[in-house]
Structure 1
Amino acid sequence: MIKIVFALFFVGCLGSSGQSVGQFYTTNSCTCDQLSYESDCTKMGPQCIWDGSSCSTQECNLITVASACAANLKCMWTTDPQGGSSCKTFTFCSQLTGATQVACLQVSANCPFTDGTKCGSSNQLHSCSHFTASQYCEGYISYDGICMWRDATGCSLASECAPLNLAECNSAKYGCKYSNNVCSQLLCSDYTTQQTCTFVMQTITKGEYQLCSWDSTAGKCSMAQNYGGLGQGNCYATTLGTARWVSTSAGGECLSCYAQTLFVFIIALFLIMI
């Protein structure tokens, strides 16, 4: 159970290719060069650099923070035979070592798989049904999402809130809520203040989110139909770095990035925790 509580923080690992109005997907994270404002560029951390007029990707060899290096899909954090560590241009996952999935993700967001020694890419991930023992199943990050173990049914995908216990439910932040001894889907209408009315996770196995909108007249939070309620100050942050503010003749608008950056959000969430 402890492993799945830990892993459910990473539920934004893979997202859908399409997007509906009012929704955003964490795999569509913005790249550095898509950000037009210094405030957004600096929020990306050391993997982006602002030169005074534009945002660009920092060269791997200039990144000195392991977390920023690992989160940059162009880079990987390596250790040389002498024990020194540095950020280098990414080549192959097989060049990296890690006994666990988390250990591999700590050196490259490209490499969520491990055979117990060497890291591997996402196409090497097992499905939940592959596992026949709880110690291998519980909390495993499969291509489809997080695996969970139940003695009666074996290893399966944690695809809904209902089967989750209290600890697991509380770990699926923005996706599930626990009330009256039952775990259920969190809805925009569950938020009771304007400050908390931001977004909800629609599917806990993938980084699919629904924006929420606050109705000041009614004093209620509901599903947002578009990005219209977001401005320059909160466009990037409220969409978890998947949209950016773009200047227009009318003043500007919040637009999706559609970068399709695999596993960036999963490593970002982990690095926030440590």
Structure 2
Amino acid sequence: MIKILLTLFFVGCLGNSGQSVGQFYTSNYCTCEQLQYQSDCTSMGPQCTWSDNSCSTLDCTKVTDAKACAANLKCMWTQNSSGESSCKFFTFCSQFSGSSQLQCLNISNNCPFTDGTKCGSSNQLYPCSHFTAQQYCQGYISQDGVCMWTDGTGCRAAQDCTLLNQQQCITAPKGCKYTENKCSQLLCTDLTSQESCTYVMDVIYKGYYQLCSWNSTTGKCANAQNYGGLGQGNCYQQTMGTARWVSTSAGGECLSCYAQTLFALIVALFIIMI
């Protein structure tokens, strides 16, 4: 359950691509080609390669890491007739067998669905209301978020902090806070140090995050109005890889990527944390 809740706060690849000023959205993950600096390129992981002063996506056949292969929507991790695994260019989901979401996701992030036998794409995912038993509901990644079982209401998407009990709440330190015997939304104003004043989860099931800004004069953390306070060193990292530093005649600025990488981020993290 703890791993599922940790994953929950990175859900953000099934919704709207827009965001408010000072907010970032996890489905807008940068592509390798959008990154202009080697440090950002290497932070993307083994799916990117830095060569001739540019960042590019590594050819599927050259990816040797199973998780990186599955996380790249152009690729799939498969076995040949001899049982040897390798990364190849993605074709379609239904050719793969998988009795669980995890088995299908280990092949390709394009395939989060299973009917118990065959894998399928994200548009085949069941809604949380489909499940009538806790064992099938808990932790299922649906179109409307990560499902959780609540006595009295059955299976539903965990859409806000108030649905979480104390144990679940404290496992989501960037999204929720547990005070006065209840779980509630964490705000930038709740962060009390410059080091912790980075971002907070704004909407659980949509993957929206609010960027925070430290005011050195008042010694307080507040909502950032834009990306203006971010520099080359923290633009990419502080926006969870959804923005990159771009050189300009004035020196440079931090800009959103709007990559629309469907399902890639949540599924990559889901696989890593299982």
TM-score between both structures, scaled by the size of structure 2: 0.95
The DSSP-based 3-state class of the residue aligned with 1:266 is helix
Instruction: Output the amino acid matched with 1:72.
Output: N
Choose 166-175 or 39-48, whichever is displaced more: 166-175
- Equivalent residue number for residue 215 of structure 2: 215
Contact kept, 8 Å, 2:104 with 2:111, in 1: the verdict is yes
Structure 2 SS opposite 1:46:
coil
Aligned to 2:236: 236
Which residues in structure 2 correspond to 1:9-158 (within 5 Å)? Answer: 10-158=10-158
Q: Distance between the aligned counterparts of 1:255 and 1:3, measured in 2?
A: 31
CA RMSD across the alignment? 1.7
Q: SS state of the match for residue 45, structure 1? A: coil
Residue 174 of structure 2 corresponds to which residue in structure 1?
Answer: 174
Structure 2 distance, partners of 1:104, 1:212, is 36
Whole-Å separation in 2 of the counterparts to 1:245 and 1:7: 27
SS of residue matched to 1:27: coil
Between the aligned partners of 1:2 and 1:24, the Cα distance in structure 2 is: 24
What do the CA deviations read for 1:185-220 (whole angstroms, capped 9, x no partner)? 010011110011000111111211110000011010
Equivalent residue letter for 1:215: N
The aligned amino acid for 1:59 is D
Q: Give the letter for the 1:88 counterpart.
A: K
Does the 8 Å contact 2:78/2:85 carry over to 1?
A: yes
Aligned residues: 274
> Aligned residues: percent identity?
70
Q: Which amino acid aligns with 1:133?
A: A
Q: Which amino acid aligns with 1:132?
A: T
Cα distance in 1 for partners of 2:165, 2:123 equals 30
1:269 aligned to 2:269? yes
Q: Distance in 1 between matches of 2:80 and 2:247?
A: 45
Per the TM alignment, residue 28 of structure 1 is displaced from its structure 2 partner at its CA by 0.5
SS in 1 for 2:142: coil
1:156 to partner: Cα distance? 1.2
Point out where structure 1 has 5 or more consecutive residues left out of the alignment: none
The whole-number CA distance in structure 2 between the counterparts of 1:272 and 1:177 is 25
Deviation at 1:144, TM superposition (A): 1.2
What is the DSSP-based 3-state SS (H/G/I as helix, E as strand, rest coil) of the residue aligned with 1:167? helix
Give the TM-score of the pair, scaled to structure 1.
0.95
SS at structure 1 position matched to 2:245: strand
2:226 aligned partner:
226
Check 1:269–1:7 CA distance in 2 against 1; reply closer, same or farther (3 A cut). Answer: closer
